[in-house]
Amino acid sequence: MALPKIPDYPLPAAADLPKSRAPFVLEPGRAALLVHDMQRYFCAAFGADAFRREGSPIAAAAANIARLLSAARTAGVPVFYTAQKGNQFRPDRGLQAELWGPGMSATPEHEEIIPMLAPAEGDIALVKHRYSAFQRSNLAPLMRARGRDQLIITGIYAHIGCLATAAEAFQRDIEPFFVADALADFSREKHDMALDWVAACSGVPMVTDAVLASLESPSG
């Protein structure tokens, strides 16, 4: 029931992206950036030396998230974080306890966002209780209040919470942009499955360089 030990795999590149059915075009004036669940507890599944190990998907994804954070803050794009709390019990944890067990403890070693991606002043941190970042949070109204109807999704895990967030964003008429090389997952197979589903049903898979080009565009 606990998280698996995740092996290394190469993150998708631009040439690996599935073609999206959606015509959405990323616009910095409409977008918000989401850093999804990049907490020590979830990152630990990639191994104790994951951020020092060549070929680690979480190290590569985190480096790309850091690039996106810098560009978003410079461009005035709102930045949201989700993070779960430890020691959750019913009803807070709900059915997730049936699949994943008790989850994290209420300690900094579990709850803390990894230091290289720590929230900055002006960023908005949300407590998360379910797979989707929209469930039991005020992400949607906070986006609407800022005139944002596009969401750039990064973090872990691609086929679970990140995919659920993309699906719910679409159902709330918020256009999802799924940043393939700023996400990490249990395996390349599950990572690719998430990209395929988003491309077919809810949003636009992109790579970090393409998102940066949009955020840094003078017309943006």
**Residue 30 amino acid letter:** R
- φ/ψ (deg, to 5) at 94: 60, -145
Other beta carbons less than 10 A from residue 164's beta carbon = 18
Q: How far from 203 is each of 2, 67, 117, 151, CA to CA, in Å?
A: 30, 22, 25, 10
DSSP helix/strand/coil, 148: coil
Local structure of residue 117 (DSSP, 8 states): G
DSSP helix/strand/coil, 56: coil
Rounded to whole angstroms, the Cα distance separating 137 from 80 reads 11
Rounded to whole angstroms, the Cα distance separating 137 from 130 reads 10
Tokens in use for 52? 């020092």
| Pairing, β 150-156 against β 31-36 | parallel
Question: Of these residues, 37, 181, 185, 192, which one is catalytic?
Answer: 37
37 part of the active site: yes
Exposure string for 112-141, b = 16+ CB within 10 A, e = fewer: ebbeebeeeeebeebebbbbbbbeebebbe
- Residues with a catalytic annotation lie at 37
